[in-house]
Chain A
């Protein structure tokens, strides 16, 4: 069974940094692109970032470009999101999700349970 487990969330002051991780199991991690999607409290889903299966291509939403960095370690089956210069509007539940196919545009399946990031101003 495919399993994704996020960690690293917490409370941080505006301008601070956090590093999220997503440990995966149940599939060959290096074969799939991966993404981060966030959901503010009471709000909808927002795509944040994606990374190709070997990490040579990365993509970001305009709202986080220049502040967030996605990376992966295929030897550890783990996805990361380094978040710098955090703002109040970054407060959200952050999900990692697998991109199931080799297509460059995809859907997300499955999702982890999420890790909460709270940014205080």
Chain B
């Protein structure tokens, strides 16, 4: 069981806004460690989507945004597009493990 909890799936119609939650604890988000997000399209390697809670690498559309408060974080996708159908993972550092942790992943389906 992952130390970061994500919903298994979320779905939305094209153009809608969806959010993916990532719930942590006092040993990761609550200790001040940042959250990062990855997108994994089918059959491909993960790709960095958001780093340090809400920063986007060059080339990532501003439809993707992140936030964090206390021991919870979230990723929002606005103006959902068919190409956004993928698995999304949150990641942080955990002081109780002395290592990195990933959420179990959330599958986004575009209806």
Contacts and interface: CB of A to CB of B under 8 A. Distances in A.
Interface of A: 35, 37, 44-47, 50, 59-62, 95, 100, 105-114
Nearest to B6: A44
A47 B2 CA distance: 11
A50 B91 CA distance: 15
A112 B5 CA distance: 26
B45 A45 contact: no
Nearest to A100: B51
A59 B98 contact: yes
B45 A46 contact: no
28 contacts: A35-B100, A37-B46, A44-B2, A44-B89, A44-B102, A44-B103, A44-B104, A45-B38, A45-B91, A46-B102, A50-B99, A50-B100, A59-B99, A61-B97, A61-B99, A95-B45, A105-B93, A105-B100, A107-B48, A107-B91, A108-B46, A108-B48, A109-B57, A110-B48, A111-B45, A111-B47, A113-B45, A114-B45
A1 to B, nearest CB: 12
Interface string B48-69: 1001100001000000000000
Contacts of A111: 45-47
Contacts, number: 58
A80 B11 CA distance: 39
A109 B91 CA distance: 12
Contacts of B24: none
Which bracket fits the contact residues of B? 20 to 34
Most A CB contacts (10 A, CB to CB) among B91, B99, B104 go to: B99
Contacts of B98: 59
A61 B102 CA distance: 12
A108 B47 contact: no
A112 B45 CA distance: 7
Contacts of A44: 2, 89, 102-105
Nearest to B45: A111
Contacts of B105: 44-45
Interface string B67-87: 000000000000000000000
A51 to B, nearest CB: 13
